[in-house]
Chain A
């Protein structure tokens, strides 16, 4: 509920007057207003890498996206010393934002996308895993109703040496694009419905089935205008208590 109120408040700031009133009404009914209301506007954040002072206006808004969402690119150069098959692009880290479509050639996690700039050169350096800052670890909570993809040969419960722990909130699971998608729900949504405000978990394939992992973007939304891009900021403990049931 708190998250809804924050969203409504942001909407009202951007769209005063009747638009704001309608948004409040719709928000109260639990319907997310998608008509240009800005839950997060990356242009106002430090992830707007195209901002040029003093003018903050960017000519082509796609120019902001390409810093992380690398476009496929038109035909590249044919290397003079080596033969490469035509159209063979380089494989990057996980397909950002596409939930890993079937057949996607991604290597490494989405966290690599963050670490490629957050290595102390142009942005704060991040030392990967520490117990206060978990990155790239399997989510130890339970998954009620989880059944692995048919054909994966995995047993009915996630048993890959990750003991299920009950002091973590149960995550939810659904099938999107024929792939299992896991997330940790934050208060305010219906069961089984994934909201923008929920914490996504990133699935990695393993011989025992799909395992959801905590990555950088589980807690940080790189488009958000919140402090350090955190998905949850309210309440003492905020983001931590979203997963830890303490």
Chain B
């Protein structure tokens, strides 16, 4: 070949071939999410009511935080070799801290982290000496420490901000059946929800000192009166340090003060707005509004701090789509008011942004749309 075609022409041919190849590849390559057509934003409530939330994105697998690099795209097209991604198997609960989204997976037995600021996906709970058996409710404090309720081992497992196992709290002697753990925003107190199970009377919230692990006091016992629980599922800390507890078997949310004194309860069993059928997890936003996930309704309802219904988002559908759910469970609200909602059946986390902030604002927004111009990925 070299003898027939002179060297300079060969270089030109090579350049042309490269250009054609690049053009060909660009034409039939996969479109990156930024270039694809964006559908009209999904707002809640729907018009003519004033929009309060906008559906933003869905998290299903590691690709959602760590998209395929240009090299793996090219490799996939030329050789068919795919970079493996990891998806959620049966996600249950979610917690968010400064753009890092933590999701507990009950079947895969890890807490999966979608680290948006660092564009990384990793798993927590891989410690050989202290494995995670059944991670259910989780929470993160302001320092980034992760607390995981392990229902099978009956411990609250604590991991530091880098994901390394730090310590465990409780144990089979303390807990009957763990459902969830919540840490107060300052990181001082740990509220552990013991759902108890059907045949036990130990339905209560146990309060620990988050730093030392010392047991402080218990809230409630099994029953139907104010201050008593039947199958409590989750707890959230709200306005003025109030504790909001999903009292599942009594179909209500109970409100306690910071020291565990019962204040009031709202909700009752039924299918109407403001009522509960299968309330699961609960979260509060920076304004103190209360978000309650209901697996039977396929939605989450938003109440003001006194228990007055504000709105609800989501309904049931057998066909997957944003804001359509079959078995929702976990819910969390981050520092900017973004809502993260987990569906166990559809294996995804939907993210809703408050209509007041733009998509590049807030911890998650700044991580996904960095303010300075992005350097070309090599």
Question: When the two chains form their complex, are residues B327 and A116 in contact, meaning their CB atoms are under 8 A apart?
Answer: yes
Asked whether A157 is an interface residue with its Cβ less than 8 Å from the other chain, the reply is no
Q: Render B217-235 as a binary contact track against A, CB cut-off 8 A, 1 for contact.
A: 0000011000000110100
Residues of B within 8 A of A237 (CB): none
- Please measure, in the bound complex, the distance between the C-alpha atom of A88 and the C-alpha atom of B315, giving whole angstroms: 12
Does A195 belong to the interface (CB within 8 Å)?
no
Is B249 engaged at the interface, CB distance under 8 Å to the other chain?
yes
24 contacts between A and B (CB under 8 A): A46-B199, A48-B198, A49-B249, A50-B230, A51-B198, A53-B200, A71-B271, A72-B270, A74-B272, A76-B275, A77-B308, A78-B309, A79-B311, A81-B52, A81-B302, A88-B273, A92-B296, A108-B318, A116-B295, A116-B296, A119-B90, A119-B92, A120-B136, A123-B198
Does B270 lie within 8 Å of A70, measured CB to CB?
Answer: yes
A125 within 8 A of B: yes
Beta-carbon contact of B311 and A92 below 8 Å? no
Cβ-defined contact, A76 with B316, below 8 A = no
Report yes or no: A83 in contact with B272, Cβ–Cβ below 8 A. Answer: no
Q: Is the CB of B49 within 8 A of A83?
A: yes
A136 → chain B closest CB, angstroms: 10
Question: In the assembled complex, how far is the CB of residue B157 from the closest CB belonging to chain A, in whole angstroms?
Answer: 16
> Nearest B residue to A121 by beta-carbon distance?
B179
Q: Does B64 contact A (CB under 8 A)?
A: no
Residues of B within 8 Å of A163, CB to CB, are: none
B-side contacts of A78, CB under 8 Å: 273, 309
Q: In the bound complex, how far is the Cα of B196 from the Cα of A78, in angstroms?
A: 34
Does residue A117 face the partner (Cβ distance < 8 Å to B)?
yes
- Check: B34 CB closer than 8 A to any chain A CB: no
Partner of B312, one of A79, A92, A123: A79
Contact of B299 among A50, A67, A90, A123 (CB under 8 A): A90
Residues of B within 8 A of A117 (CB): 278
Enumerate chain B residues within 8 angstroms of A119, measured Cβ to Cβ: 90, 92, 106, 327, 329, 344
B278 touches A73 (CB 8 A): no
Which applies to chain A's interface (DSSP): helix, strand, loop or mixed? Answer: loop
Q: Interface residue count for A (Cβ, 8 Å)?
A: 46
- How many angstroms between the C-alpha atoms of A187 and B199 in the bound complex? 35
Q: How far is the CA of A75 from the CA of B251 in the complex (A)?
A: 16
Q: Which of A52, A90, A113 contacts B297 (CB 8 A)?
A: A90
A-B interface contact total, Cβ < 8 Å: 166
Contact yes or no, A53 B296, CB < 8 A: no
Contact, CB under 8 Å: B49 / A90: no
Interface residue? B189 (CB, 8 A): no
User: Nearest 4 A-B pairs (CB), nearest first?
Assistant: A73-B270, A76-B272, A77-B274, A82-B45
B44 contacts across to A, CB distance below 8 A:
82
B124 an interface residue at 8 Å Cβ cutoff? no
Asked if residues B179 and A70 are in contact (CB atoms below 8 Å), the reply is: no
Nearest chain B CB to A218's CB is how many angstroms away? Answer: 19
- A162 touches B (CB below 8 Å): no
Residues of B near A89 (CB, < 8 A) are: 270-272
Contacts of B260 in A (CB 8 A): none
| Beta-carbon contact of A90 and B273 below 8 Å | yes
Knowing A67-B249, A73-B275 are in contact, say whether A122-B198 is a contact too (CB < 8 A).
Answer: yes
Which residues of the partner chain A approach B302 to less than 8 Å between Cβ atoms? 81
Is A25's beta carbon under 8 Å from chain B?
Answer: no
B277 an interface residue at 8 Å Cβ cutoff?
yes
B17 at the interface (CB under 8 A from A): no
Cα of A80 to Cα of B308 in the assembled complex, Å? 8
Q: Could you tell me the distance between the alpha carbons of A77 and B230 in the complex, rounded to whole angstroms?
A: 24
Identify the closest chain A residue to B197 (Cβ): A122
Give A27 to B204 CA distance when docked, in angstroms: 47
* B237-266, CB < 8 A from A: 248-249, 251
Q: Which residues of B contact A112 (CB under 8 A)?
A: 295, 326-327, 345
Chain A positions within 8 Å of B275 at CB level = 73, 76
- Say yes or no: B326 contacts A80, CB within 8 Å: no
Complex CA distance for A151 and B195, rounded to whole angstroms:
49
Residue A19 is within 8 A (CB to CB) of chain B in the complex: no
